[in-house]
Chains A and B, each alone.
Chain A
């Protein structure tokens, strides 16, 4: 079945360092979405990428969609303690979203 793998599973960074999480799908995706889940909270939508090679920015966050539409990345520049949480990518299949396993980010002040 369709799978979305995400690495790394955990990442600890010093505040101010950069952070990147990578998402890979076994099949071509129609689009990819990114969500953030704070500890004890629920997933919150960040962004959706649709086009091959698309790059979108939200302040310190940069999202990329691969040319083959099988992989994606989220890069955070100069992390802050408010960036703490788990970041999930999700690929759209025929009838549902396939969520990656998530990357849990810890930011050390």
Chain B
């Protein structure tokens, strides 16, 4: 059973460009979570999704950020018009339910020039 897959592992964007981060959860997991980790800091919850539904997006900035988890295919975290402050590691995690352990992907390290 493959673990949580994230791609790309490293992404470099110039200010104003769009960043698309992909996450494929573990097989059988319908719950996906996105976290942001700034250098030397902890994990900040961004959004929690189940298939085709956003359950909680309280941690996601209101502008420029969006997430989806379509019926088929990976979950996507999209950042429009990136700014330098968006540079961080973005981790995706999946679980069978909110009360189970979360399995984390290797992360996507976004650098905005």
**Chain A residues within CB distance 8 Å of chain B:** 1, 6, 30-31, 33, 35, 41-45, 48, 86, 88, 92, 94-102
Do A88 and B42 have beta carbons less than 8 Å apart?
yes
Q: Which residues of B contact A33 (CB under 8 A)?
A: 101-102
Q: Which residues of B contact A102 (CB under 8 A)?
A: 42-43
Q: Which residues of A contact B104 (CB under 8 A)?
A: 35, 42-44
Q: Which of B21-79 contact A (CB under 8 A)?
A: 33, 35, 41-45, 48, 55-56, 58-59
Query: Once bound together, how far apart are the Cα atoms of A99 and B2, in whole Å?
Result: 25
Do B42 and A96 have beta carbons less than 8 Å apart?
no
Which of A31, A35, A42 contacts B107 (CB under 8 A)?
A: A42
Q: Which residues of A contact B43 (CB under 8 A)?
A: 43, 88, 99, 102
Residue total for B at the interface (Cβ-Cβ under 8 A)? 23
| Given contacts A31-B99, A102-B42, A95 and B55 within 8 Å (CB-CB) | yes
* Residue of chain A at shortest CB distance from B91: A42
Q: Which residues of A contact B58 (CB under 8 A)?
A: 1, 96
Q: Taking the complex as formed, is B96 at the interface, i.e. its CB lies under 8 A from any CB of chain A?
A: no
Q: Which residues of B contact A41 (CB under 8 A)?
A: 106
Do A45 and B103 have beta carbons less than 8 Å apart?
yes
30 residue pairs bridging A and B, Cβ less than 8 Å apart: A6-B42, A33-B102, A41-B106, A42-B91, A42-B105, A42-B106, A43-B91, A43-B93, A43-B102, A43-B104, A44-B104, A45-B102, A45-B103, A88-B42, A88-B43, A92-B98, A92-B99, A95-B48, A95-B98, A96-B33, A96-B45, A96-B59, A97-B33, A97-B45, A97-B98, A98-B45, A99-B43, A100-B42, A101-B41, A102-B42
